């Protein structure tokens, strides 16, 4: 399983490295594929991640050593939602001010908003890489489902980062995020991680995925595609049943 999880970490890193090429190939059907990705993410959340989160919640509630912090799992999910939304809101505000001051809508350079984004997503990817070795991901079924959902999620992250910081993300950011996944895997392989920390990490990831599915992977109402969204839900649901 260690080799299998490392292989998945490498594949997820490559998604960041080549995400721009994938997006360019799907340019004509961009909004349709975002809707498919949203469906996959929603199905992953409700069929896989939230049931796992509830298992962790019961474990922490039933064990006196950790019982006092069982609700922290859900607080971690709220923190994930808040941080993700806050950084995106900040990026849009700074971009709008930049456009008003320069009368251009060019991509940002090496500015502080970019590094805030990079810091958030790097920590986020470290957590995703670490979780490859823990929880449901310790099984072949769980690892495959996790890999599919995270690959789709990473493509959406790439779209977001290119939208806000196109040039600097292509030159630097994508490599940092790819390395962060591998660093997370190495951390999970080298350092014992207790069930409490895994539970908090799953909660944090759930919050990030939730706001991402609502805000980024579902296009605005005029461009959203319902049938592709349903297709994404059905695809991941079928995958979860078959494997």
Distance CA 125, CA 106 (A): 27
Q: Is 109 helix (H, G, I), strand (E, B) or coil?
A: coil
Q: What is the pLDDT of residue 146?
A: 95
**Residue 28 forms part of a structural domain:** no
Q: Can you tell me the distance from the alpha carbon of 91 to that of 14, in angstroms, rounded to the nearest whole number?
A: 25
Tens of pLDDT along the chain (243 residues) come to 889 999 999 999 999 999 877 766 665 666 778 888 888 988 999 999 988 888 887 877 776 554 455 577 888 889 888 888 887 777 777 767 766 666 554 544 547 778 888 888 899 999 999 999 998 888 899 999 999 999 998 988 888 788 777 778 888 889 999 999 999 999 999 998 888 888 889 999 998 888 877 765 555 555 567 888 899 999 999 999 888
pLDDT of residue 70: 57
The C-alpha atoms of residue 219 and residue 225 are separated, in whole angstroms, by 8
The tally of domains found in the chain comes to 1
pTM, two decimals, is 0.86
DSSP secondary structure, 205-217, as one string: HHHHHHHHIIIII
Q: How far apart (Å, rounded) are the C-alpha atoms in residues 201 and 239?
A: 24
Q: Is 140 exposed, middle or buried (0-12, 13-18, 19+ CB in 10 A)?
A: exposed
Q: Is 223 contained in some domain?
A: yes
Q: What is the pLDDT of residue 189?
A: 93
Tell whether 210 is covered by a domain: yes
* Domain that includes residue 8, residue range: 2-22+33-242
Q: Burial letters for 18-57: b for 16+ Cβ neighbours within 10 Å, e otherwise?
A: ebbeebeeeeeeebbbbbbbbbbbbbbbebbbbebbeebb
């Amino acid at each position: 399983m260690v080799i299998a999880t490392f292989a998945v970490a490498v594949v997820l890193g490559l998604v960041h490295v080549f995400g721009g090429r994938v997006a360019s190939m799907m340019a004509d059907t961009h909004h349709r594929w975002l809707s498919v990705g949203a469906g996959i993410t929603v199905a992953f959340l409700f069929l896989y991640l939230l049931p796992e989160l509830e298992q962790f919640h019961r474990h922490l509630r039933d064990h006196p050593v950790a019982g006092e912090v069982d609700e922290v799992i859900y607080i971690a999910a709220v923190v994930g939602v808040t941080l993700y939304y806050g950084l995106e809101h900040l990026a849009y505000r700074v971009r709008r001010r930049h456009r008003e001051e320069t009368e251009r809508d060019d991509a940002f350079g090496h500015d502080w908003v970019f590094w805030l984004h990079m810091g958030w997503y790097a920590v986020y990817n470290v957590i995703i890489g670490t979780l490859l070795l823990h929880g449901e991901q310790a099984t072949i079924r769980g690892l495959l489902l996790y890999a599919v959902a995270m690959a789709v999620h990473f493509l959406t992250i790439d779209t977001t980062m290119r939208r806000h910081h196109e040039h600097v993300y292509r030159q630097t950011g994508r490599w940092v995020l790819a390395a962060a996944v591998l660093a997370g895997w190495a951390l999970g392989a080298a350092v014992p991680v207790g069930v409490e920390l895994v539970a908090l990490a799953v909660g944090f990831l759930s919050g990030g995925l939730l706001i991402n599915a609502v805000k980024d992977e579902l296009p605005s109402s005029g461009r959203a595609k319902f049938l592709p969204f349903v297709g994404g839900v059905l695809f991941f649901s079928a995958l979860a049943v078959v494997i």
